[in-house]
Amino acid sequence: MKRFNRADRVSEEILKEVSHIVQREMKDPRLSQVGFISLTRVELSKDLQNANIFVSILGNEEVAGQVMEALAKGAGFVRTMLGKRMRMRTSPEIHFKLDDSIAHSARIRSLLNDVRGDEPADETDEAAPDDDFDPVDDEAADEAESPDEARDD
Q: Using CA atoms, how far apart are residues 42 and 53, in angstroms rounded to an integer? A: 5
Does residue 3 have a pLDDT over 50?
Answer: yes
Does some domain include residue 32?
yes
Burial (CB count within 10 angstroms: exposed 0-12, middle 13-18, buried 19+), residue 111: exposed
Q: Using CA atoms, how far apart are residues 96 and 75, in angstroms rounded to an integer? A: 8
The mean of the pLDDT values for the chain is 80
Tens of pLDDT, residue by residue over 54-82, are 999 887 888 888 999 999 999 999 999 99
Domain span at 104: 6-116
Does some domain include residue 129?
no
Please, are residues 82 and 18 in contact by the beta-carbon 8 Å criterion?
A: yes
**What's the CATH code of the domain at 11?**
3.30.300.20
Complete edge-to-edge strand list for the sheet that includes strand 36-44? 36-44, 50-58, 93-98
Does some domain include residue 107?
yes
Please, are residues 42 and 96 in contact by the beta-carbon 8 Å criterion?
A: no
Does some domain include residue 151?
no
Q: What is the mean pLDDT of residues 3-21?
A: 89
- Kindly report the length of the chain: 153
Does residue 91 have a pLDDT over 60?
Answer: yes
Dihedral angle sign, alpha carbons of residues 68, 72, 74, 78: positive
Does some domain include residue 145?
no
Q: Burial code of 36-74, b = ≥16 C-beta within 10 A, e = fewer?
A: ebebeebebeeebeebbbbbbbeeeeeebebbbebbeeb
Number of domains in the chain: 1
